[in-house]
């Protein structure tokens, strides 16, 4: 047998051996499972796998090229990954991975529940309806006054709110409050607009210090009422409200 034929046979055998080594897991699962163990595909496995019934599939994607598919608020164009910005985002102060939640009050509350001091919760543009309390040491950040909380905002000690709007437009006998400061310690709001309209018999109050210190920088507070008392700023139980470079207006309709 000539040397060239031997070399060709050796090359063919090497190809076959390499193919066999790469076929680490190839399994077809029939309906009902049939007691099959979990199927695992590792990097280097042949992807020719068919699942036709209930079966656990474990994927080890390290070293593999993975195709990305768009999500609810993620667009993918060629090699560009873009977010649409409709969700509530939780930025970790310790550098942990970004977390996102639905852009509604339930998502905002979930982000607050997962946050710790030093974190930032970011609101999307648009209106979120419901009362919300910012945990101690956490910042609630909007994307300008187009990020609107339709409800009452309460701040814990060391908490803050910035670049957003607090809004209520009601006709009720209940009293309404825009922002409540902490019972102890300090809280800060920056570039926040508070806009309250009380068309009912209830009272309306823009900013309330509830014992601690509430500092406001470059904020606007607009409060209107019908028959109840109307206050732009008030302090209770020895609290302090500091207004720096802002505007306050309270009037009856």
DSSP 183-221: SSSEEEEEEEEEEEEE-SSS-EEEEEE-SSEEEEES-EE
pLDDT of residue 23: 43
Is 206:223 a contact under the CB 8 Å cutoff? yes
d(C-alpha 112, C-alpha 133), whole Å: 8
**Can you give the pLDDT at residue 237?**
85
Q: Measured between alpha carbons, how far is 13 from 19 in angstroms, rounded to an integer?
A: 10
Alpha carbon 111 to chain centroid, angstroms: 6
Residue 6 pLDDT = 57
Mind listing the pLDDT tens digit of every residue in the chain (253 residues)?
556 555 666 666 566 555 544 444 444 444 444 455 555 555 455 555 555 555 555 555 555 555 666 666 666 665 555 566 789 999 999 999 999 999 999 999 999 999 999 999 999 999 999 999 999 999 999 999 999 999 999 999 999 999 999 999 999 999 999 999 999 999 999 999 999 999 999 999 999 999 999 999 999 999 999 999 999 999 988 899 999 999 999 998 8
CB atoms within 10 A of CB 99: 17
Give 157: exposed, middle or buried? Use CB within 10 Å, 0-12, 13-18, 19+: middle
pTM, rounded to two decimals: 0.70
């Amino acid at each position: 047998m000539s040397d060239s034929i031997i070399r060709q046979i050796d090359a063919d055998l090497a190809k076959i051996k390499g193919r066999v080594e790469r076929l680490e897991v190839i399994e077809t699962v029939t309906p009902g499972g049939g007691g099959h163990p979990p199927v695992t595909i590792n990097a280097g496995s042949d992807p020719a796998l068919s699942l036709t019934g209930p079966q656990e599939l474990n994927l080890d994607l390290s070293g593999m090229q993975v195709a990305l598919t768009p999500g609810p608020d993620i667009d993918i164009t060629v090699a560009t990954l873009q977010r649409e910005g409709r969700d509530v985002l939780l930025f970790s102060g310790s550098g942990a991975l970004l977390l996102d939640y639905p852009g509604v009050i339930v998502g905002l509350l979930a982000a607050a529940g997962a946050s710790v001091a030093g974190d930032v919760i970011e609101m999307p543009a648009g209106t979120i309806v419901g009362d919300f309390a910012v945990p101690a040491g956490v910042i609630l950040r909007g994307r300008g006054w187009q990020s609107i909380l339709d409800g009452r905002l309460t701040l814990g000690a060391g908490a803050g709110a910035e670049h957003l709007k607090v809004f209520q437009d009601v006709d009720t006998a209940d009293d309404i409050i825009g922002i409540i400061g902490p019972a102890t310690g300090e809280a800060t709001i920056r570039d926040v607009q508070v806009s309250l309209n009380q068309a009912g018999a209830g009272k309306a109050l823009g900013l309330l210090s509830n014992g601690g210190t509430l500092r406001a920088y470059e904020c606007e507070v607009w409060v209107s009422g019908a028959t109840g008392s109307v206050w732009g700023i008030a302090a209770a139980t020895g609290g302090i409200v500091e207004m720096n470079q802002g505007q306050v207006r309270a009037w009856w309709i």
